[in-house]
Structure 1
Amino acid sequence: MHITLKKTPFQYLLLLIIISTVVSCSSDKKSESKKTSVDSTTLVKEKEPINLKFGLPVDSFIVERNRVKRNEFLASILLKYNIPYKQIDLLAHKSKDTFDVKKIKVGNPYHVFLNKDSLHTAAYFVYEIDKINYIVYQLNDSITFSKGKKEVKRIQKTASGQINSSLWNAMTENNTSPLLALELSDIYAWTVDFFGIERGDYFKVMYTENYVDSTSVGINSIEAALFHHRGDDYYAFNFQEDSLTSNYFDEDGKSLRKAFLKAPLKFSRISSRFSNSRYHPVLKIRRPHHGVDYAAPKGTHVFSIGDGRIIAKGYQAKGGGNYLKIKHNSVYTTVYMHLNGFAKGIVKGKKVKQGELIAYVGSTGLSTGPHLDFRVFKNGKPIDPLKVKAPPVEPVKKEDMRRFKEFYKPLKESIDNLSLPVKQ
């Protein structure tokens, strides 16, 4: 027998109240869960970030900053912080392949991280190798060390200015890094005579500058430049030829640079190299030798390694003997010493071509035998002749010309649109 119970109005009302209560409780739980999630997120956001310097949490230490003083070494610094000499010696020995502590320089900053205990024991020593690189030494029983780099930010910049006296002064007058003058003089070394700059010459440049901790640490690269010199415009575009090399070309794809010969003579051997402390065979003392000696028979032909003008010709009895000095451009100068004699027509002021015969190997001056003492100067400072990188002279390759044109045209437009500063 099947019996059907008939619900009264009161039962329907009771059922409705129960359903409503269940729904309400469920909604409250969801709301509470959501609120808890929001509160948790809020707590995460409010948590302060760890303040790191050189990869170390600076708020956990007392940090003392100083600079290396004259006659101060790693040992004399760390002994002041009660680090045992035996431990310092071990530290120096273990880290030698990473950084030789003998190369610590006067004036460079260092930081000592002290524990916040009653003794303020030294936990870490950080030495800044330069403006970007540093090394961290952990000063506990198990010595560890690691090299690091500060974050470098590259900022795109533009600069322009009229030249009233010199390129260097023009940079200063326009609140631009003077280092940019050196970069431009290197790019335009073969194109512009920076000793013959005229009033009214001007420059425009697009470049990237490196910054560490909001302080400039040098020019990273020049992307494009225009130098207006004696009525002519000279463009330079830094074009990436392949994955490894980039060079400067004008708007026709021609290189702005010329190459040097790798050596000023043939059939010779190097008898002495570039050195800041070489034992002199005649004077019997140690002194700098900022050149390369090529041992060769007397009378061997000596050639100019590049186009230039002879700016000095003379004799030094207690030095280089017969010598020649050739100025190739506003950046590079070469000197040839201990010469037996000079080629015909070689006089001060004469222009010479790359590979032109200029003199003959000899043994004049302070010399123990026939050889050529050859020297190279860049911006007035001696550099190792064997490390001079011969810049390319080849133009942009034909297969790359389409890509080059697409590359330089927007840069040229941007350079042309740069305005010169208005004189106050």
Structure 2
Amino acid sequence: MAEGPEEDDSLAPLAYTPASDSLSAIQPAEPSFPPTDSSEVDTAAADRSAVDSSAADSSAADSSGVEICPWTRIAVEINGSIYGSLAGLTVEPDILGAHVVRCMCWDLDPWRGVSAGDSLYLLVGETGRENRVVALRYVPVPGSPNHPFSVYSFRMTGDNFPSHYYSDGTEVMKLLSTMPVSTFEEMTGPYGEPRGDHTHSGVDFKAPLGTTVRTCRGGTVTRLNWNPEYNGNCVEIDIGAGYREIFLHLESVDGGITVGSVLARGDRVGTVGSTGVTSTAPHIHYQINDERGNPIDPYLFFGSRRRNLPQGDMAVFTAFRESCDCWLSPGTAAGAR
């Protein structure tokens, strides 16, 4: 992966007046996670912040005393796809575009729901995970049904990895009401994401190699390791009423699991891997099929919840958010540092 977007001094900041985020505070119940194995905890990740929240305070100043932004700043007007609009601003626009889409897909359809003239303002740099979006502000063109929003990368106390949060500390990503993994870096493949001549039939959670994978519902194992060239090691479970729970790209399937095995909710299925030619990094592809064998959105099947940053994190998060907002403001969010 490239170190970051190339600077484009010719990109002028877009003229806009950002509207305040009209996000109501959400106080959901905590989602159900399977128990965490001690071997799964990434202690190195747990000891580091998502983004050094003091970066803006410790950033260098130039000879005139003006503070230098510690991240790459990009302002772009969308014309066509998000990926195409980023071309020329980074060595690998497809990669940065994917990172941007992951920040936006919870609020709108980033493939078909953006309009020509919508604006994106980005801070890009090291975040402690693959996604390099430190902060993002989306401003729709006047008359659009979409609403403006901003998101910021931050690691909640106790989490192994950072996530993105709205201005009020509500997590951008939704968690399934019951999760197949207890720790993961990011949801890297939403259900329905366009992929060439098809759409993604499940949800991808990027997690460390060897992370325990558990059944969210329990049931009878109906298939193991079918079409392994593409699916890798995989398990299908009949969870009742004709619905099937599917796990692809496993590093391994737990010993003793055979066709006909009956698993209870929360039982181990295997471990996160990157098996099969369609996998490019360790993750679990999690899928639900209906009684006709058609994939359906796991978020609709199980329901979902969002978390809020605890009160103890809010002071640090607010200071970090305010620093990001300064660099995302008109006149600073150009393509230069």
Name which one, 1 or 2, has greater alpha-carbon Rg: 1
Give the TM interval when normalised to the shorter protein: 0.3 to 0.5
Q: Which has the higher contact order (CA 8 A, sep 6+)?
A: 2
Structure with the larger helix share: 1
* TM superposition score normalised by structure 1: 0.36
